[in-house]
Amino acid sequence: AQTVTQSQPEMSVQEAETVTLSCTYDTSESDYYLFWYKQPPSRQMILVIRQEAYKQQNATENRFSVNFQKAAKSFSLKISDSQLGDAAMYFCAYGRPFGNEKLTFGTGTRLTIIP
């Protein structure tokens, strides 16, 4: 069974600085998707970024980018120029659209932004 591990329960960063959240996963498949979701205090789950395993290029969305290391089964999220609105729980997730359609989540990392 697939597992997703987030080893940093909490992280903090100064406003305007850069922070990296870690995620590792375990799978025997070669074709899959990885995601980062953000959950602010409002409780809403927001898709931040998506990476398809067959794509070697790391995904980016504005200030958010990933470092996808397929061989190492590592998928970290880098947030540049951190803003107060980035404060949230961040969840890493794994899924496959054909064969394992459901998502498997890590336990999350709580990110605090220090003004």
> Which residues lie near another protein (CB under 8 A)?
33, 35, 37, 43-47, 50, 91, 95, 97-98, 101-108
- Give least dist CB 32 to another protein, A: 10
Closest to another protein by CB, 33 vs 67, is 33
* Least distance CB 28 / another protein (angstroms): 19
Residue 5 CB, shortest distance to another protein, in Å, is 10
85 or 102: CB nearest another protein:
102
Contacts of 14 (CB under 8 A, 6+ apart): 82, 113, 114
- Quote the strand ranges of the chain, DSSP E: 3-5, 10-14, 19-21, 24-26, 33-39, 46-52, 60-61, 64-69, 74-79, 88-96, 100-105, 109-114
